[in-house]
Amino acid sequence: MRTLRAMRSRIRAAKNIQQITRAMKLVSAARLRRAQDRVLAARPYAQRMDEIMRELGHAGDLPDHPLLQRREVRHVGFVIITSDRGLCGAYNMNLIRALQTAIREQNLTQEQVCLVCVGKRGYQFFAKRGYTIALYRPMPTAGAGLEDARAVTSAISELFQTEQVDRVYLVYAHFVNPVTQRPTVQQVLPIEPPVGDEDGTREFIFEPPAEELLERLLPRYLLTQVLQALLEASASEHGARMTAMSMASDNAGKMIQELTLVMNRLRQAAITKEIAEVVGGAEALKG
Amino acid sequence: MREFLLSIVSPERVVLEERVVHVRLPGSEGYFGVLGGHAPMVAELTYGIGEYRRADGVMRRFTVLGGFAEVLPDRTIVCADAAELAEEIDPDRARVALRHALEILQQPLSEEELAEARLALERAKTRLRALGEQV
């Protein structure tokens, strides 16, 4: 039975929710702007690093380095970057699904998978399902930074060099624009220099000698990739949350409108009924 | 003189992207100069002052605080840990940083703190040198 009082309290509830979602939307918008500035400013550096590695691919045989070592793949590491908090639409679920798809496509059993989780959502999901989790770090609200990238990088380098995993992927949301995030699965270990479009090898001068140089360059390259993924993820998260909250606010508005309409109709009906009763009573007395 | 593209980027931003005819960079094994058509090279960089010259003769200085450079015949890419053009440096801030680093070095420090303070000192000195000051 829909009473006027029940309707009023439902409208009040919808208004409260709208207030919260609107506030969250504003907060996300502010955070998004900061995160977006950071990711866009950091991209050229990451791209130039890529370019250096691509050119090095032309240098012919590089000296052996532990991070370049290709092995038969028995165990695979995934770094999954999600958010700590919900209320950001399908953001986390899309990433979790991207990881599950990757596991399925490579025909991996649960024992062959080792995870590094940044962000509570991904961690909770996979921990509950009994996956091995080598490292868990929360996703800082202010956006991930160099500290986080260092921790993740050292964890995956260690796992890879001790042969606990033979390959490592990053799973994160690439920031396309505030309303679009593309879940991305990207191999980072072993480091395979990106394939260039031109063929042929070139003689490179290395200073210091190649071995020593790679010793410094490769870890730096790995760190850059991880950091970039974290920055992309931060911006994507705030973008997703802003979109979700904006939609929630709109929906709450629509709901309030509909409920108000129904409530007014109910009120009108009640008034009409009362008038009819009064008129009916008066008629009866007259008779 | 052959022109080539000089691109200096740091993790925070693009510092410089310009056509130049010559650039000098602080390699970890010593300074080296690059002209257009240089043989392919990858080099590690250390703290130091770089300098480039454009075809119109304009010369500018910049700081490089570690990183890597790749030299190709038609372009030179510098991926610096940090870099700035000399005119972007705030001399007062660098001087404060220098004094601060020297003060810290007076105190008893753990190995890590010591390394950190020495780097800070080097950074401040590099910046001031880029402005032509003696430190």
Would you say residue B35 lies in a domain? yes
Sign of CA dihedral A100, A104, A110, A112: negative
Strand partners, A136: A117
Q: For the residues A59-81, what does the mean pLDDT come to? A: 85
Question: How distant is the alpha carbon of residue A4 from its chain centre?
Answer: 43
pLDDT of residue B11: 87
Do residues B97 and B82 share a domain? Answer: no
Output the domain CATH number for residue B119. 1.20.5
Highest mean pLDDT among A49-58, A277-286, B84-93, B104-113: A277-286
Residues B119 and B73 in one domain: no
Is A88 a residue of the active site? Answer: yes
Q: Which residue has the tokens 């950190």?
A: B116
- pLDDT surpassing 70 at residue A144: yes
Concatenated DSSP letters for B33-97? EEETTPPPEEEEEEEEEEEEE-TTS-EEEEEEEEEEEEEETTEEEEEESSEEEGGG--HHHHHHH
Among B5, B15, B42, which would you mutate to test the A interface (most chain A Cβ atoms within 10 Å of its Cβ)?
B42
Nearest CA in chain A to B14: A44
CB atoms B28 and A208 under 8 Å: yes
Whether B108 is covered by a domain: the verdict is: yes
Do B76 and B61 belong to one domain? yes
Give the chain B residue whose CA is nearest to the CA of A209: B43
Is B36 found in the same domain as B102? no
Contact A204 B42 (CB under 8 A): yes
User: How far apart, in whole angstroms, are the C-alpha atoms of residue B84 and residue A280?
Assistant: 90
Chain B residues close to A55, C-beta within 8 Å: 40, 42, 70, 72
Closest in A51, A204, A213 to B44, CB measured: A213
Residues 101-120 on B with a CB inside 8 Å of A are none
- The answer on B22 and B66 residing in a single domain is yes
Within a domain: B21: yes
Strand partners, B35: B22
- Phi, psi (5° rounding) for residue B3? -85, 150
What is the reported pLDDT for A175?
93
Residues B44 and B68 grouped into a single domain: yes
Task: Tell me the mean pLDDT in the region A79-91.
Answer: 90
Contacts of A82 (CB under 8 A, 6+ apart): A91, A92, A95, A96, A117, A118, A119, A120, A121, A122, A123, A139, A233
Task: Say which CATH number the domain at B37 has.
Answer: 2.60.15.10
For A22-41, b where at least 16 C-beta lie within 10 A, e where not — what string? bebbeebbebbeebbebbeb
Inter-chain residue contact B70 with A51, CB threshold 8 Å: yes
B77 touching A, CB under 8 A?
A: yes
Domain-embedded: residue B100: yes
If we measure between CA atoms, which residue out of B63, B97, B64, B62 comes closest to residue B80? Answer: B64
Say yes or no for a CB contact (<8 Å) between B40 and A205: yes
Contact A38, A143 (CB under 8 A): yes
For A2, A139, A156, A158, B10, the CA distances from A152, given in Å and listed in that order, are 55, 12, 6, 10, 21
pLDDT: is A198 or A91 the higher one? A91
Q: Indicate if the pLDDT at residue A42 is higher than 70.
A: yes
| A228/chain B closest Cα distance in angstroms | 9
Are B82 and B95 in the same domain?
no
Domain that holds residue B54: 4-86
Query: Using one digit for the tens of pLDDT, what is the confidence trace for A164-189?
Result: 999 999 999 999 998 899 999 999 98
Angle between helices B111-130 and B91-106 (to 10 degrees): 150
Q: What is the pLDDT, as a whole number, of residue A251?
A: 93
- Please provide residue A20's backbone torsions phi and psi, each rounded to the nearest 5 degrees: -65, -50
**Which residues of chain B carry a pLDDT beneath 70?**
none
Whether residues B82 and B98 fall in one domain: no
Q: Do A206 and B43 make contact, defined as CB atoms within 8 angstroms?
A: yes
Rounded to whole angstroms, the Cα distance separating B112 from B117 reads 9
* Mean pLDDT value across chain A: 89
- Chain B: give the shortest CA distance to residue A221, in Å: 10
Q: CA nearest A56: which of A186, A206, A163, A184?
A: A206
Question: B63 and B110: one domain?
Answer: no
pLDDT at A239: 92
Domain A24-243 has CATH 3.40.1380.10: yes
Adjacent-strand bridge partners of B67: B45, B80
Pair B14, B44 in one domain: yes
A56 confidence band (pLDDT: 50, 70, 90): confident
Structure tokens at B111: 């190995």
Marked catalytic residue, from A49, A88, A230, A252: A88
Domain boundaries, chain A: 24-243
Q: By the CB < 8 Å criterion, does A198 face chain B? A: no
Q: Are strands A167-177 and A76-81 parallel, antiparallel or unpaired?
A: parallel
The residue-averaged pLDDT of A48-77 equals 83
Across the A:B interface, residue pairs with CB atoms under 8 Å apart total: 65
Res. A199: pLDDT tops 60 = no
pLDDT at B4: 93
* Residue B135 forms part of a structural domain: no
Same domain, B65 and B116: no
Q: What span, in angstroms and rounded, lies between the C-alpha atoms of A65 and A76?
A: 19
Do residue B63 and residue B95 come from a single domain?
A: no
Residue A196 has pLDDT above 70, yes or no: no
> In this complex, do B42 and A205 lie within 8 Å of one another by their Cβ atoms?
yes
Residues 6+ apart with CB under 8 A from A249: A18, A21, A22, A25
Confidence check: pLDDT of A51 > 90: no
Q: How many domains does chain B have?
A: 2
Cα angle vertex A178, ends A177, A184, to 5°?
60
- The residue-averaged pLDDT of A273-277 equals 92
* CA dist list (Å): A35 to A39, A225, A247, A262, B83: 6, 17, 21, 43, 22
A208/B contact by beta carbon, under 8 A: yes
CB of A136 within 8 Å of any CB in chain B? no
Query: Which of B86, B102, B119 lies at the terminal end of a domain, its last residue?
Result: B86
